[in-house]
A = this chain, B = another copy of it.
Amino acid sequence: MAHITTSVEYGIHCLLWLSGSGEVSLSSRDLAELQGISPSFLAKIFPKLEKAGIVAASEGVRGGYRLAKPASEITFLDVVDAIEGEKPLFECQNIRTRCAVFDGDAPDWVCEGICGVHGVMLLAEKAMRDVLAKKSLADVGTAFMRKAPQSFGTDVGTWIDDRVKGRKPGRTPKNSGPPG
């Protein structure tokens, strides 16, 4: 896990939407437009979440994604690893073996075990991963919903319904009909 990227922010926020929509599948295009992010970019993130067993995909029209397990069983670490591929926080180049006094032939006592510096980095990474592993989507999803007023849920419902009909409320649809 190198740097927690924007892809992870997109992914987790999408999963929170899915956790609020129950058994109904939402397409990646739905989720992208709902959040004002790039549909084509989001479409590259979801296959990773599916391979990790976090979401289940259904193909064809009216298909989309739903959570493959309860939100309480999906941790932040699961999502980060699924999207970023378990890259380490720190990649040791083993410079300790390159000391000039060895002249290209490092003795055994240098190589045994991992470098102390590397060890500290691994400890730091583990501390970070432990925090991420202890937080589930449900933990933050409920907090988010507590802040939202009742009207928000219904607004979202009507937005999705209108979108299915090819119309967006409050703006002029671009492709509402052929010219002439």
Write the residues of chain A forming the contact surface with B, with a CB cutoff of 8 angstroms.
Answer: 2-4, 6, 8-10, 12-13, 16, 33-37, 76, 89-93, 95-96, 98-101, 103, 109-110, 112, 116-117, 119-121, 123-125, 127-132, 135, 139-141, 143-144, 147-149, 152, 155-156, 159, 168, 170-171
Contacts and interface: CB of A to CB of B under 8 A. Distances in A.
Given A6-B93, A16-B117, 13 more contacts: A2-B2, A3-B90, A4-B121, A9-B92, A12-B117, A13-B96, A36-B100, A76-B120, A100-B159, A101-B155, A109-B149, A112-B147, A128-B128
Contact of A36 (B35, B98, B159): B98
Copies of this chain in the oligomer: 2
Contacts of A110: 147
Given A90-B4, A103-B170, A124 B131 contact: yes
A155 to B, nearest CB: 5
A52 to B, nearest CB: 18
Nearest to A36: B98
